[in-house]
Chains A and B, each alone.
Chain A
């Protein structure tokens, strides 16, 4: 068994008492990419958002169950959400760079976690951009606005931004669905490289993408986890009829 990065036990999420995720238990391996697939509204994004407690921001939501990182249940009320989110980065469907320079976008996180030294910040910025395969394109214009970058570059900037705070886990919510095919390919390539160091959990609508980038795949339907297995097995020999129907495009 691979090392476990994140372990979810009996997780349920409710929006105003309406269940969106029902009693899901899942183990995510460290240094692997896990894809969450399923039709729209199946709860996969909601599930993802509860992993770094982003659902806390929605007043009507309620999350029950346990989410274990090593010895800590991060879903317990006593968790320090702010330091938790440093350990779990997140990337969204639409790139959301801050309205600041490229440099400041990356330095934002580290600076508020106590890195004051200019040299150290410079180094973090360079390393993060390099890891996100964006350094060569941006090194001459680090102090230009991040909004001058293309959509694909902005998305890689957002990945670099989350790497900069040195997380263990990176959550990605359809990170390439707003991008063109070339940018998508770059993001996928990047995900492949990042999995050497991070536990990556990615929500995607694109099953080819799930097949390309992930080692494990979880299929959600109507808020429930239907099937969870190694990706190649899921796509060639799914155990459940629903999974097979969805993957072969019969619904969803």
Chain B
């Protein structure tokens, strides 16, 4: 009997295809639905502050006084925004050169030792719970800063240092992959012209992998931006813009985690915290867009 190639519902592989398609579609739908409902929830709560409770958007973004339980209540979130940006950017500034150099060492200088021992160790850093980082920061870094610099030791410097260690794996891993993925012909081409290893790394390897390295840095900043617990433990949590790196301040995340449990759902204070969450979320979106844009540019 000649085999029929016509599609029949009863053929097992047709059913299989169908089941697979429905199942994967369902997973995607669930993901998208979760994201949309989260965005909707945060946005609706966060925007109520402005449209329901009559707090001015500009006032929230630029005000430097945060006193949600006062008479009258004041909602100036600039100290938090400033705290978040300064700690994460400072953390990236500390971490980026370290991460890049570690990657160069692992890929260019000691590839076998690096791949076998160093990379797993650095990736291990990513698995340590943030409360451990916060605890170490609180018991080691803060007292150290307190002894050396004026102030309590809590503040942006301590926060940035803790964060810089936390985001080191992200930056290093992405930099390592970028360096390892560089076509070997480029390096050989440079060596064959009589370049030293240093010239090759600084003039060929670094510029060619720059978009990927920046992607790592932005992802690191994004992670630092969203980190709450470890920062909260070492930043001091005072809602004002500090005059030095060693003065107590606050970030968006630490302000939210610290007060969320103490406010009544639906109160202006609670809604204002949702507004902070909305800012955090929007910033995360911006970071994702920057990463997308950078990836579009890195055609190695």
Contacts and interface: CB of A to CB of B under 8 A. Distances in A.
Contact of A96 (B111, B112, B188): B188
Interface string B275-295: 000000000000000000000
B191 A98 contact: no
A165 B188 contact: no
Contacts of A109: 193-195
A108 B204 CA distance: 10
Nearest to A92: B185
Q: What does DSSP make chain B's interface, helix, strand, loop or mixed?
A: helix
Nearest to B186: A96
B196 A82 contact: yes
Given A96-B185, A98-B208, A112-B203, A52 B195 contact: no
Nearest to B204: A98
A165 B193 contact: yes
Interface of A: 52, 54, 57, 59, 82-86, 88-90, 92, 94, 96-100, 108-109, 112-113, 158, 161-162, 165
Contact of A112 (B192, B199, B207): B199
A98 B188 CA distance: 11
Given A82-B194, A90-B188, A109-B193, 9 more contacts: A54-B191, A57-B191, A82-B195, A83-B194, A98-B208, A112-B194, A112-B195, A112-B199, A165-B193
Contacts of A59: 111-112
29 contacts: A52-B192, A54-B188, A54-B192, A57-B187, A59-B111, A82-B194, A82-B196, A85-B193, A85-B194, A86-B193, A89-B193, A90-B189, A92-B189, A94-B185, A96-B183, A96-B185, A96-B186, A96-B188, A96-B189, A97-B189, A99-B186, A99-B207, A99-B300, A109-B193, A112-B195, A112-B196, A162-B192, A162-B193, A165-B193
Contacts of A89: 192-193
A158 B204 CA distance: 15
A99 B189 contact: no
B205 to A, nearest CB: 10
B190 interface: yes
A52 B194 CA distance: 10
A108 B208 contact: no
A90 to B, nearest CB: 4
Contacts of A98: 186, 189-190, 204, 208
Contacts of A96: 183, 185-186, 188-189
Contact of A86 (B186, B188, B194, B203): B194
Contacts, number: 67
Contacts of B204: 98
Contacts of B192: 52, 54, 85, 88-90, 162
A158 B185 CA distance: 11
Nearest to A165: B193
Contacts of A94: 185
Nearest to B182: A99
Contact of B194 (A99, A100, A113): A113
Interface of B: 111-112, 183, 185-196, 199, 203-204, 207-208, 300
5 cross-chain pairs, A with B, having the tightest CB-CB distances, nearest first:
A96-B185, A86-B194, A90-B192, A109-B193, A85-B194
Contacts of B196: 82, 112
Contact of B207 (A52, A92, A97, A100): A100
Nearest to B210: A99
B193 A161 contact: yes
B203 A57 contact: no
B189 to A, nearest CB: 4
A99 B208 contact: yes
A97 B300 CA distance: 12
Nearest to A98: B204
A85 B189 CA distance: 11
A155 to B, nearest CB: 12
Contacts of B194: 82-86, 109, 112-113, 165
Nearest to A161: B193
A165 B192 CA distance: 10
A100 B203 CA distance: 10
A109 B188 CA distance: 13
A89 B112 CA distance: 29
A99 B187 CA distance: 12
A162 B191 CA distance: 11
Nearest to A87: B194
A57 B188 contact: yes
A112 B204 CA distance: 12
A87 B196 CA distance: 14
A100 B193 CA distance: 15
Nearest to A110: B193
A113 B193 CA distance: 10
B209 to A, nearest CB: 10
Given A83-B194, A108-B203, A165-B194, A158 B189 contact: yes
Contact of A108 (B185, B187, B193): B193
Nearest to A99: B208
A108 B188 contact: no
A100 B194 CA distance: 18
